[in-house]
Structure 1
């Protein structure tokens, strides 16, 4: 009888999670895609502003070089103001982090964009920096954080239902079923993350080209990231980001689709 009750409860938890996820659907005005999100743009902006100081501290705070920081902000705003990103409600701001060792860039929901000094010092041109910032802008306008949150809640609900259905307090071995369910949920979210990265690469091609930068500079950025990673890191399936070498192919394809007649002359490299 207890097993039947557990099974019914598990079904109810799973059903509520699925219904909540599928009913939280909006059309992204920037990309035109249907998305499952459960927060408003205003909530995204507020969340990003709230989290920004703490995130900065994790990378040693903001960089003291005001000139370098101003250049990052200027290039970021050029991407915003010279593309249709300026028509979105997001409040973009671009920050240079003091961390000289970590090679990274990321965006919080709502428009707070960060790049570490460790990555900036490896870049060789303004166009490469524009490619990095354009990629992070892509994450924001594509609402990837809101999507990830909705997916994480769905995964949490489904794995919780699986744990309820399989766990037996009188049988310690049943705990492995819950562990497997949790691992599967984690791998599913990693897959979504890689898809988000590739979509942001495609958006960055559009944004950099429209702002007057040569999007081919992003290919060199991928080479830089590949060198920084030492060419290792384990199977791509278990990584949160796609292999930089594989991303090059996607970027080249995106450039071809965006400019079927070839890139215009005069783009900044």
Structure 2
């Protein structure tokens, strides 16, 4: 009887602790709120900046800032018009360029974005930066890291919220957080699932479009990324990102909708 009640309580928590991703409409697990996860995110982001060579004062760095602010403003306006303002409550958008050969960019909860200089040649121009920026902003809007952390907490039986989890097992909770935002290399706790990556592609395509950037650049960017990674890309089942060919196919399928947004908002 006790076991049955425990299962029912567990299922009740899962059903109650669901949120909806804007635009895609997907239901996701969310047992913690932004008020809990954002302070951790901001601390971690600042720590990364302290330990890195930040080159945001360069021409490329200013390009990252300008594109980021333009997309964030357009997205905030879109969310407000569609009654999703609560999604970005507590967000403090920040965009930085870090000197590194890594071909990468990422976004922590609350809109804390970082590009590495290694990805800038593949971006080529402002629209290319917008492809990557839209994708990273989409991770923040879809609360993918919060979802990952919620999944990790449930998997480890930490159901009482973040503060309760820190009280029960602070070390484990901190590890779950770092893995959720992309720190840690275990295959079992990849930064984002491939489904989340594809969802970020979908939302990112729309986000760059409503900011007035041509979404037709997105497949072109992934063609360049594919050429850059040829021969060095790991098998897809060990990658946090779907293969470029799959992404390009999906982006082209979603292009008509994105172009509708673009044609309404192009400058």
TM-score tier, shorter chain, comes to 0.7 to 0.9
- Residue 145 of structure 2: aligned partner: 145
Give CA-to-partner distance per residue, 1:107-159, whole Å, 9 cap, x none: 0011101110010133212111011001000000001001111112233459x
- Residue 131 of structure 1: aligned partner: 131
Q: Which moved more, 1:193-202 or 1:25-34?
A: 25-34
- Partners of 1:103 and 1:228 within 8 A in 2: no
The alignment status of 1:48 with 2:41, answered yes or no, reads yes
- Partners of 1:31 and 1:142 within 8 A in 2: no
- Residue 96 of structure 2: aligned partner: 95
C-alpha distance in 2, partners of 1:96/1:251? Answer: 26
Work out the number of aligned pairs and report it.
Answer: 230
The alignment status of 1:209 with 2:202, answered yes or no, reads no
Counting only pairs closer than 5 Å after superposition, residues 54-133 of structure 1 correspond to structure 2 as 54-56=47-49, 60-63=52-55, 65-83=57-75, 84=78, 87=85, 88-89=88-89, 90-99=91-100, 101-133=101-133
The normalised TM-score by structure 1 is 0.72
Give CA-to-partner distance per residue, 1:171-202, whole Å, 9 cap, x none: xxxxxxxxxxxxxxx76755961111101111
Counting only pairs closer than 5 Å after superposition, residues 227-246 of structure 1 correspond to structure 2 as 227-246=227-246
- Partners of 1:17 and 1:154 within 8 A in 2: no
- Residue 225 of structure 1: aligned partner: 225
**Structure 2 residue runs without a partner (length 5+):** 159-185
Larger radius of gyration: 1
The normalised TM-score by structure 2 is 0.73
Give CA-to-partner distance per residue, 1:176-231, whole Å, 9 cap, x none: xxxxxxxxxx7675596111110111111111111111111111221232233234
Q: CA deviation at 1:21?
A: 3.8
C-alpha distance in 2, partners of 1:266/1:33? Answer: 26
Give CA-to-partner distance per residue, 1:58-117, whole Å, 9 cap, x none: 6x3312643332221111111111232574322211110111x11001000111011100
Q: CA deviation at 1:258?
A: 3.5
- Residue 34 of structure 1: aligned partner: 27
C-alpha distance in 2, partners of 1:82/1:115? Answer: 20
- Partners of 2:30 and 2:146 within 8 A in 1: yes
C-alpha distance in 1, partners of 2:264/2:146? Answer: 37
